[in-house]
Chains A and B, each alone.
Chain A
Amino acid sequence: MQPAKPNILVIVPCFNEQGAIASVVRDLVAVRQREGYQLDVLVVNDCSTDKSMDIIRTLPCLYLNLPVNLGIGGAMHSGYRYAYLHGYDIAVQVDGDGQHPADELPTVLEPILKQEADISIGSRFINREGFQSSFSRRVGIKYFRWLNQLLIGKTIHDSTSGFRAFNQRTIAIANNYYPDEYPEPESIVQFGLQGLRIKEVPVRMRHRQEGVSSINTSRAFYYMLKVSLGILFMYFRLVNKRAD
């Protein structure tokens, strides 16, 4: 039985998001008041070089200030460690660039609150509403869909989505290990192999309000290769462990 009002931690990784971070946090706080959640917002400042940190200090939220830039995976990992350490029931990842509208939070939380899933992923491709990403990125996402199908036998439509909610069991696993670079597709394979229930829910995403993606054209190839390798090694590591 989960408590009547589960403690929710919304983790917002932030790397040079001075233009968007304030409104992201304010939207989340507004949702908390509207829905009556027991919810804390934790911004993880991944060593931003702009004024993000000064802005974060003035916001109504908790924050972690990383002394070294760890990348999105390392930042999220610190957030999950915080959630684990402080015994939160649910952890939600919301990007700091305003891509993930706070209004969709209840949709993403629903499967976890109803205990239908261990991981709930907000996917933009189920109802095909809102920002759909560029063509080349969609090709990449299709490839990861195929890889997921192959390795964990599950169709994840939007495996690169960073809009996701974890329950306590998943938080405990993420506390131990979370991939560092481009963690989204890799962690799905990790969780899938560990027998966690993954559910996708349709959400609408926005175009990022400011800043640029960390994945540009020249990095796309490296991204695909790195993530594929990461996924394969993850697969072999966990398949061997499961056989023991």
Chain B
Amino acid sequence: MATLPITIQVISLLVAFLVMLFIGRLIVRGKLREEYAILWIVCTIILIVFSVWRRGLEQIALTLGVFYPPSLVFLAAIFAVLVFLVHLSVVVSRLQSQIKTLSQEVALLRHELESRTAVKEASTSQIAEPAATSE
């Protein structure tokens, strides 16, 4: 019985470090921006802290008046997830409006470019045409 908490402690530490490693790799490969990486690093640090400090959760729960410590974990985790989701929705909305503006600009610039090359072609073909007919 006494060995069980130790096993779970080792597993959770291992998982926390693996997550940390994974986040680190994503940053190095340029797949994750630093501003989001900070959040995930903080999460893994919390995970490590609680894997080492086994009585921590229980003590915090008791001081907050939560009788069943795991419910505090769920509460905190769900709250954090919700906040992050709202943040991501805001980010996606901003990206969407930026993409809209960008593609409109691209379309307008394409139009500009095409009409300019069309004018140039027309002027060169006007010069070229008489030479072609004289042959």
Q: What residues of chain B have their CB less than 8 Å away from a CB belonging to chain A? A: 99-100, 103-104, 106-108, 110-111
Minimum CB–CB distance for B105 against chain A, Å: 9
Chain B contact residues: over half helix, strand or loop, or mixed? helix
Minimum CB–CB distance for B46 against chain A, Å: 37
A78 touches B110 (CB 8 A): no
- 15 A-B pairs within 8 Å (CB atoms) are namely A63-B111, A64-B108, A65-B111, A67-B103, A67-B106, A70-B100, A70-B104, A78-B104, A78-B107, A78-B108, A81-B104, A81-B108, A82-B108, A82-B111, A85-B108
B104 touches A65 (CB 8 A): no
Interface centre among B99, B103, B107, B108 (most CB of A within 10 A): B107
Q: How far is the CA of A67 from the CA of B108 in the complex (A)?
A: 11
A64 touches B100 (CB 8 A): no
Q: How far is the CA of A118 from the CA of B5 in the complex (A)?
A: 75
Chain A contact residues: over half helix, strand or loop, or mixed? mixed
Q: Which chain B residues lie closer than 8 Å to A68 at the CB level?
A: 99, 103
Q: Which chain B residues lie closer than 8 Å to A85 at the CB level?
A: 108
Q: Which chain A residues lie closer than 8 Å to B100 at the CB level?
A: 70, 74, 77, 180
Q: Which chain B residues lie closer than 8 Å to A67 at the CB level?
A: 103, 106-107
Minimum CB–CB distance for B50 against chain A, Å: 41
A66 touches B111 (CB 8 A): no
Q: Which of A72-102 contact B (CB under 8 A)?
A: 74, 77-78, 81-82, 85
B111 touches A64 (CB 8 A): yes
With A64-B111, A65-B107, A81-B104 given, name 7 new contacts (CB 8 A): A62-B111, A64-B108, A66-B106, A70-B103, A77-B100, A78-B103, A82-B111
Question: In the complex where A70-B100, A180-B100 touch, is A65 in contact with B108 (Cβ < 8 A)?
Answer: no
Q: How far is the CA of A82 from the CA of B110 in the complex (A)?
A: 12
Minimum CB–CB distance for B108 against chain A, Å: 6
Q: How far is the CA of A184 from the CA of B107 in the complex (A)?
A: 22
